[in-house]
Amino acid sequence: MFENLQRKWQINGWQFVLVILTFAIGGSLTGYVGRKSMSLLQIEDTVLYTALYILLITILWPLAVIVVSILLGQFAFFKNYLKRMGNRMTGKKVASANAAKEPIFAASKNISHTHMTKVAVFASGAGSNAQKIIDHFKAHSSVQISLIVCNKPGAGVLQIAEKENIPTLIIEKEQFFRGDNYVHALKAHGITFIILAGFLWKIPSGLVEAFRGHIINIHPALLPKYGGKGMYGQFVHAAVIEAAEKESGITIHYVDEQYDHGSTIFQATCEITPDDTPETLAQKIHALEHAHFPRVAEEVILQLKS
């Protein structure tokens, strides 16, 4: 049951523990405050007492959970959780003006299994992983690499896109982080899944929410070690070697609002020898990335379609 919940919420094991603690502490706090408040009213009528108590608990619970979630660092998760729960209870649908915040894949469960999943690959550099992913999905019966998204106009991945005749989208920082997060542009291309293949910008919360559970990333280390802001490429490999680790590897994971934080999908390891340098370790990591990333991406996409 716990594994199913963790998969459904797209969170890692440590975050799952904190989420459960937030639920437990928030519930206990709600009950305590509710009982104390009702004792001050001194209501003798059982029916009236019960009705008021239920009403009070209904109001207090989300407030208590939000307060505890802030203390435990889980505010982003519970803000989205309570919003979705409120929409379910009221039957409210998000207006078109807020379409960027809606999961654009919401109707995908009703689509035929043969429906083509259109994938956007986000990359910032030369694009070696992007090339392997493009090669893997060429002539695929139900998955198509439909867009290359890049934040660097001169990046090598754009040459790959031109060679492969794949449309490109060059993103600008202000619109990506403070505008509509390019959700509308992705919708216009029919994108329902995103693969981050060496993309160095943090994904903004609006884009995460729009594609929640449909964005995956690959990190060149064994998370939760050596992740977070600034941990990419040679910086990761140098830190791993400096710490005298015996092995390193790759982590493929779902993307959430934090750097290198979403639930782990797959890991593969490689040995670190005494004569390894950041450069030689990078070669080993690249080999793992090319061997596993396209295959695992396909498995995730097909699982979502099933």
Active centre residues (catalytic):
219
- As a whole number of angstroms, the distance between CA 203 and CA 189 comes to 19
- The rounded Cα 151 to chain-centroid distance in angstroms is 19
CA angle 260, 263, 269 (to 5 degrees): 70
For residue 291, give the 3-state DSSP assignment: helix
- Amino acid 175 reads Q
Contact 173, 153 (CB under 8 A): no
Question: The sheet that has 117-123: what strands, in order across it?
Answer: 168-170, 143-150, 117-123, 191-196, 215-219, 247-254, 264-271
- The rounded Cα 290 to chain-centroid distance in angstroms is 21
- As a whole number of angstroms, the distance between CA 7 and CA 264 comes to 9
Measured CA distances, 273 to 239, 248, 278 (Å): 15, 11, 11
Bridge partner list, 149: 122, 169
The DSSP bridge pattern shows strands 168-170 and 191-196 to be unpaired
Contact 139, 133 (CB under 8 A): no
